[in-house]
Amino acid sequence: MIRHLLAALILLGSLAAAPAADEGALKPFERGSWQQLLRAHAGHPTLVHFWGVTCGPCKVELPQLGQFMKDHPQIDVVTISADLVPNLPDATRSMLDRAGLASAENWIFGDGFAERLRYEIDPAWQGDIPRTMLVARDGTITTIEGSAEIADLSKWSDAQAATIR
């Protein structure tokens, strides 16, 4: 009996661990996630891209960002699907896969109160997407509204590389 229970516990443990190991799993972006994200990447130049599956300009930019990630392995690339919820994890994942962003750190808004999530990120942000936030090694944040020019991202990335002593 005890052995069975222990086996059950081990099984539960492995089940619980399974989603984390699944590449491409979307992390639910909830209250507090923004600060958690900043803490996790502190000291690393990080590109955070906000987008959504129904946003026309986002569809054009996403594959360019996939290429950017490939070309700049020293930059942490994070995407956050900021569409209203209930949103569509399957469509989100499939667009990220096609854009070459499956291995990025991918989040999806997981709280129905999108205004509050946006407020935690930037109180002035009214929800327009795409939007890119470049978080420098020293924590300085540069916000790019709308589609980013990949040349600008590369310039920022090069400047970040130059700050390594």
Partner 1 sequence: MGHRNPLVRTALAAIMLVVLPSLTAAQMSHQHASEAACEETDLHCATKVTPAFAPDGTLWLAWMAGGHISVASSKDQGATLSTPVQVTRERLNLDWGPDARPKLAIDAKGDIALAFSIFRDRAFNGQVLTTRSSDGGRSFDPPKPITASNESQRFETIGFDPSGAVFAAWLDKRNRVPAQQRGEKYDGAALFVATSKDGGRSYSDAKLVADNTCECCRLALAFDGAGRPVVVFRNIFEGGVRDHAIVTFSDLATPGEVHRVSRDDWQIAACPHHGPSLSISPAGTYHVTWYTNGKARKGLFYAQSRDGGKTFSDPLPIGQANRSPSRPQIAAGPQGLVMVWKEFDGQKTTVNLMMSRDDGATWSKPAPIADTADSSDHPLLVSDRRHTYLSWMTKADGYHFQAIGSEP
Q: Closer to partner 1 at the Cβ: 79 or 147?
A: 147
Shortest Cβ 39–partner 1 spacing (Å): 20
Give the chain's largest Cα–Cα span.
Answer: 63
Cβ 109 vs Cβ 140: under 8 Å: no
Instruction: List residues bridging with 80 in a β-sheet.
Output: 50, 107
Report the alpha-carbon distance of residue 33 to residue 99 in Å, rounded: 24
Q: Closer to partner 1 at the Cβ: 105 or 120?
A: 120
Q: Closer to partner 1 at the Cβ: 11 or 40?
A: 11
Beta carbons within 8 Å of 154's beta carbon, 6+ residues apart: 68, 71, 72
Shortest Cβ 44–partner 1 spacing (Å): 26
Report the alpha-carbon distance of residue 126 to residue 114 in Å, rounded: 10
Question: Which positions touch partner 1 (CB under 8 A)?
Answer: 1-2, 5-6, 8-9, 12-13, 16, 28, 30, 52-58, 84-86, 91, 110-116, 119-120, 123-124, 126-131, 145-147
Q: Closer to partner 1 at the Cβ: 16 or 162?
A: 16
Shortest Cβ 131–partner 1 spacing (Å): 7
Shortest Cβ 161–partner 1 spacing (Å): 27
Report the alpha-carbon distance of residue 24 to residue 11 in Å, rounded: 23
